[in-house]
Amino acid sequence: MTQTTDHKALPQNQYTDDELIKNFPGFTNHYARINGLNLHYIEGGSGEPLICLPGWPQTYYSYHPIAAELAKAYRVIIVDIRGMGSSGKPSTGYDKKTMATDILALIQGLGLSKVHLMGHDIGGMVAMSFAFNYPQFTDKLIVADGAHPSEGMMQMPLMPVAGTFTKKMDANMPYAWWMGFNQVKELPEKILEGRFQYLLDWLFQYVMIDESKMTSFDRSVYASVYNEPENIRASNAWYQSFAKDIEDAKTYQPLAMPVLGIGSYVSYNYMKAGLPYVAKDVNVIGILDSGHYMFEEQPKQVLDAVLNFLASS
């Protein structure tokens, strides 16, 4: 791993990594050369290492509501995964097994032998892939509203059940149309270039109970990233790799390390049903007064769950 100091600035000055890090007291920006791409991460705190991976359509900045508290007890490393934020956006390598090798290379480059791992959304998929493939490096695993792709995805409806597709996602009949939309190559970036704010606003309204918890500044941070065609193309590749991820999952053995699943009102029942099939020592809790973006909606509940889990013997 080669440490570097240069990085690609985001479009507006207030959204550069150098400016945004000011919202993470005690944290610093870092850039490393990993597997042929530049990987951006931030680091703060001390103690046992906790690797944090974000999801779509966000960046490392999504951890800002909980990062400072986590860093009081742990060495927190929040990573812009392959295709995200200031990290590299190659043309290939978006299957979760390859993305897990990025995290392994980062961990080894930092001289770490074993880590706790936490992932939200797509980040949860990468975190689980890491734990499946590198259990010897994984102490405890936390997945928040995002488990490894499985064959169950193939049963997701193309059309919503009548009466269930409203302004808020239905917990019993969730309709995630973007799973299909993000499979399309080249068209999304043409439609959404410079207009991603419209998708963000709709999405936050749909999957959050209280979308006001996602502030206008938060939204602008993510829009500044995903307005760029290259970034849309790379993030959609996370979804376009699901078929490969599902095939990889068929070869994995159940996880033996302690696993915590945190589900929102839209995912708790699915995680509670699914995670015990792939993990031997698993506890799934629900934050049922929160939608998908639980770090913003219910940060205290997330912190209580995570810190209690990590502190338990």
Rounded to two decimals, the pTM is 0.95
H/E stretch holding 283 reads: strand 282-287
Q: Quick one: what percent of the chain has pLDDT higher than 90?
A: 96
Name the residue with higher pLDDT: 264 or 2.
264
Predicted local distance difference test score (pLDDT) of residue 13: 85
Bridge partners (DSSP) of residue 115 are 138
Question: Which tens digit of pLDDT belongs to each residue from 147-196?
Answer: 999 999 999 999 999 999 999 999 999 999 999 999 999 999 999 999 99
For residue 171, which of 159, 158, 161, 181 has the smallest C-alpha distance?
Answer: 161
Q: What is the mean pLDDT of residues 263-276?
A: 96
What is the CA angle 86-204-55, rounded to 5?
35
Q: At the top level of CATH, which class does the domain 2-311 belong to?
A: alpha beta
Residue 5 has pLDDT above 50, yes or no: no
d(CA 17, CA 156): 37
- Give the residue extent of every domain in the chain: 2-311
Q: Pseudo-torsion of CA 125, 130, 132, 137, nearest 10°?
A: -150
Q: How many other C-beta atoms lie within 10 A of the C-beta of residue 72? A: 13
Mean pLDDT of the chain: 95
Residue 10 has pLDDT above 60, yes or no: no
Catalogue the E-assigned strands of 47-180: 49-53, 75-79, 115-120, 138-144
> 312: which residues sit within 8 A by CB, 6+ positions away?
258
Name residue 88's amino acid. G
What is the CA angle 276-279-284, rounded to 5?
55
Find where tokens 């917990």 sit: 171
d(CA 92, CA 275): 28
Predicted local distance difference test score (pLDDT) of residue 2: 56
Residue 224 has pLDDT above 60, yes or no: yes
SS3 (DSSP) at 79: strand
Burial status of residue 1 (CB atoms within 10 A of its CB: 0-12, 13-18, 19 or more): middle
Bridge partners (DSSP) of residue 286 are 263
